[in-house]
């Protein structure tokens, strides 16, 4: 039979008769493969004279399955772009010299540890000026442009116990014992930590041997700010003997560059950070708060004299958390960023405390979910470079000058201009206590007025974080498959003030559940959602609430809990910030009030669950450790609830969607799970 068909096909081909329908063109919907073609802008650095912007562009690389960072330069007058560092490797942290003639940056271009490079803008030549064993961070030029300060990890010997047997030459033995003595011995960002500390260094801007400025069994670093005379570097950290057990406390310090003497400038219970010195050197701006051990606390902008005297708050009445302070060139005001009702803004704060918003609509560099975020820098003439985006476009670079905004890049035009993306609309929601709740609905690209769709409630993590009208690959992939996607900022979300955020203080999960259900009800009432085809998912804090919700109601056809916390007691002792979570989210340790931990644990409700539930986690998640997801998967199996466990190999908590293939595969797995139960009767 096969031979006959083939022969018949050959005869048709010879006669010129068409046998098959024309090949279909590329789909106009977003697909997982498109994630490799996305680009996103971050860290815009405008030159002192405002003529150029250097920024980091992250681009998908299908051969390495990574978002590769490169550095690009924009002429702010013409909008023309050119690469600065875009070869093999990773390139980041562009920083202008004070006169704008050179650009420092960090690069792995030579295949070694990340190194510090300087590019001379006139000649276009770049020179490697360090040969470091570890990556430099927080790079900062001295005012005269002759030196560059940075912080770097310095290894320590650590504790040794016993004497290992001497290994014969050429023998292949197991790895030696690992001995940990730190309170936080692993982090989600770095994995298991090696003994050592971050310290501050300075190196000539033309290269040479770096000089270490700080020492001791403490971590010094963060943002670095030089005094105008070049004699002092201001930084923040916790240099007390109990620094490991004080997760929120930090002070501002002045470091004498010549002598290495460190002077403490602030002294209170709470964080003081992001210190920047005024152009004339007379004042220091910084952010912080008086620690009340609440789940959420607003970071306030302060200013003090350069010797630490006369500290005073400037944004205490704003009721928003501010960050990234930058002095205006005239020294009479300070720029900060903050989130306001799901939108990131930049404000100019005068020394008398008056506040004026100068930019809004900033977007961050995350792609998978619509979190708030963004970054900016300021030229001497007050022009701002910002990362700007929309609900249907990832972050680009925009210039804001004289109140006018001009988008300079269109990174994804070639891809997304030819895709049908889901429209994102805001829907009104009122909760049980008459509080307004912000919610956004991503509609399928094929949506027609009056049409109802299966609905995915997609819950943000944190829980002290916020969604907004920002681009999201997860939401667009779900929408491309015919689902409406609901993004909600329930109580506990940031950008609505401290009172709203702390409605879940020592009460999470709790009434945030009611806010989420009110949003689902609103989507149904307003005619967008099919009440018989409801689904729920979320990651981290959203994974907690997903598991909590299906323990409270059977209205959802299926669920996917991603990187959840299931048992708060086990989480508090295995997560990578043990002192913080116990002190700030519960007020006591698990053994001091075990019932409080259990009452808020989704595991306590697993006997009520009937909803088919997918459990998703990164295999190297050290924030909400893998054991949390595995506990829940096993519990669901034991009570007979349909379930499956999806592990993302090599992925951390924050990096579960970092690699395009895994981000697309994770979204596809969740969609397949929901499709499996879309048309089945609801759980009883």
Q: Are strands 404-407 and 393-401 parallel, antiparallel or unpaired?
A: antiparallel
Please give the pLDDT value at position 565: 98
Please give the pLDDT value at position 112: 80
What values do phi and psi take at 398, rounded to 5?
Answer: -125, 150
Residue with tokens 């109990």: 242
Please give the pLDDT value at position 601: 98
User: In the structure, what pLDDT confidence band is assigned to residue 9 with cuts at 50, 70 and 90?
Assistant: very low
Provide Rg for the chain, Cα atoms.
27
pLDDT digit string, tens, across residues 223-246: 999 999 999 999 999 999 899 999
Nearest residue to 467 via CA among 515, 508, 415, 418: 515
Please give the pLDDT value at position 10: 30
Q: In percent, how much of the chain has pLDDT > 70?
A: 95
Please give the pLDDT value at position 512: 98
Show the tokens assigned to 46: 């405008």
Does 684 score more than 70 pLDDT? no
pLDDT digit string, tens, across residues 613-651: 999 999 999 999 999 999 999 999 999 999 999 999 999
Mean pLDDT across 381-404: 96
pLDDT digit string, tens, across residues 75-117: 999 999 999 999 899 999 999 999 999 999 999 966 688 999 9
Nearest residue to 332 via CA among 263, 375, 285, 287: 285
CA–CA dist 76, 100 (Å, integer): 14
User: Does residue 528 come out as left (phi exceeding 0), alpha (psi in the -120 to 50 range) or beta?
Assistant: alpha
CA–CA dist 445, 368 (Å, integer): 18
Residue with tokens 């620094």: 243
pLDDT digit string, tens, across residues 198-223: 999 999 999 999 999 999 999 998 89
- For the entire predicted model, the pTM comes to 0.94
DSSP 604-628: GGGGG--S-EEEEEETT-TTTTHHH
Residues paired with residue 617 on neighbouring β-strands, in sequence order: 647
CA–CA dist 95, 73 (Å, integer): 12
Please give the pLDDT value at position 164: 85
pLDDT digit string, tens, across residues 336-359: 999 999 999 999 999 999 999 999
Please give the pLDDT value at position 2: 39
Nearest residue to 28 via CA among 381, 420, 616, 378: 420
128, 116 in Cβ contact below 8 A?
A: yes
604, 168 in Cβ contact below 8 A?
A: no
Please give the pLDDT value at position 7: 36
Does 660 score more than 90 pLDDT? yes
∠ CA 175-178-179 to the nearest 5 degrees?
A: 155
User: Does residue 402 come out as left (phi exceeding 0), alpha (psi in the -120 to 50 range) or beta?
Assistant: left
Please give the pLDDT value at position 21: 46
CA–CA dist 214, 232 (Å, integer): 13
CA–CA dist 420, 29 (Å, integer): 5
CA–CA dist 663, 671 (Å, integer): 13
Does 683 score more than 90 pLDDT? no
């Amino acid at each position: 039979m096969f031979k006959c068909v083939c022969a018949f096909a050959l005869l048709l081909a010879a006669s010129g008769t068409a046998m098959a329908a024309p090949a279909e063109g590329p789909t106009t919907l977003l697909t997982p493969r498109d994630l490799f073609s996305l680009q996103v802008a971050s860290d815009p650095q405008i030159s002192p004279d405002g003529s150029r912007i250097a920024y980091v562009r992250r681009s998908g690389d299908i051969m390495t399955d990574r978002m590769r960072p490169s550095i690009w330069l924009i002429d702010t007058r013409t909008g023309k772009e050119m690469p600065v560092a875009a070869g093999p490797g990773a390139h980041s942290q562009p920083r202008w010299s004070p006169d704008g003639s050179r650009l420092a940056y960090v690069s792995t271009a030579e295949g070694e540890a990340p190194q510090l490079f300087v590019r001379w803008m006139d000649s276009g030549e770049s020179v490697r000026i360090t040969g470091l064993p570890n990556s430099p961070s927080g790079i900062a030029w001295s005012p005269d442009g002759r030196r560059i300060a940075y912080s770097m990890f310095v290894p320590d010997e650590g504790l040794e116990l016993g004497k290992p047997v001497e290994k014969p030459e050429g023998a292949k033995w197991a790895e030696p014992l690992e001995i940990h003595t730190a309170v936080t011995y692993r982090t989600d960002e770095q994995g298991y930590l090696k003994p050592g500390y971050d310290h501050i260094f300075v190196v000539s801007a033309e290269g040479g041997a770096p000089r270490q400025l700080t020492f001791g069994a403490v971590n010094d670093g963060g943002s670095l700010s030089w005094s105008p005379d070049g004699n002092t570097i201001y930084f923040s950290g916790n240099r007390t003997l109990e620094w490991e057990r004080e997760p929120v406390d930090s002070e501002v310090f002045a470091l004498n560059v010549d002598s290495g003497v460190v002077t403490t400038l602030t002294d209170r219970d709470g964080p003081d950070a992001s210190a920047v010195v005024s152009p004339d050197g007379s004042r220091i701006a910084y952010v912080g708060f008086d620690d009340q051990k609440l789940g959420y606390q607003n970071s306030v902008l302060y200013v003090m004299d350069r010797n630490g005297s006369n500290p005073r708050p400037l944004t205490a009445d704003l009721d928003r958390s501010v960050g990234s302070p930058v002095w205006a060139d005239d020294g009479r005001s300070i720029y900060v960023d903050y989130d306001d009702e799901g939108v990131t803004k930049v404000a100019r704060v005068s020394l008398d405390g008056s506040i004026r918003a100068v930019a809004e609509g900033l977007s961050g560099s995350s792609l998978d979910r619509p979190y708030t975020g963004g970054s900016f820098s300021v030229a001497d003439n007050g022009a701002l470079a910002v990362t700007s985006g929309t609900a249907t476009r990832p972050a680009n670079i925009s210039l804001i000058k004289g109140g006018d905004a001009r988008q300079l890049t269109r990174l994804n035009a070639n891809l997304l201009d030819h895709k049908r993306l889901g429209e994102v609309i805001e829907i009104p929601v009122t909760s049980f206590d008459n509080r307004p709740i912000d919610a956004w609905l991503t509609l399928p690209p094929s949506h027609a007025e009056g049409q109802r769709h299966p609905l995915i409630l997609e819950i943000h993590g944190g829980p002290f974080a916020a969604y907004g009208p920002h681009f999201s690959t997860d939401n667009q992939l779900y929408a491309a498959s015919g689902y409406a996607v609901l993004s909600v900022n329930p109580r506990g979300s940031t950008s609505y003030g401290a009172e709203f955020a702390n409605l879940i203080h020592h009460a999470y999960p709790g009434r945030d559940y009611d806010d989420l259900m009110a949003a689902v009800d609103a989507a149904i009432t307003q005619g967008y959602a099919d009440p018989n085809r409801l689904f729920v998912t979320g990651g981290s804090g959203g994974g907690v609430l997903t598991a909590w919700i299906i323990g409270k109601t059977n209205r959802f056809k299926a669920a996917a809990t991603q990187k959840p916390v299931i048992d708060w007691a086990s989480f508090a002792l295995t997560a990578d910030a043990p002192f913080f979570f116990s002190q700030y989210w519960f007020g006591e340790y698990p053994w001091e009030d075990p019932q409080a931990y259990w009452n808020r644990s989704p595991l306590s409700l697993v006997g009520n669950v009937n909803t088919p539930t997918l459990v998703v986690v990164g295999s190297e998640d050290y924030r909400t450790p893998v054991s949390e997801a595995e506990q829940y998967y096993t519990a669901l199996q034991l009570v007979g609830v349909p379930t499956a466990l999806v592990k993302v190999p090599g992925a951390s908590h924050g990096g579960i969607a970092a690699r395009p293939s895994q981000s697309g595969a994770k979204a596809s797995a969740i969609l397949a799970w929901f499709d499996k139960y879309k048309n089945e009767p609801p759980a009883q």
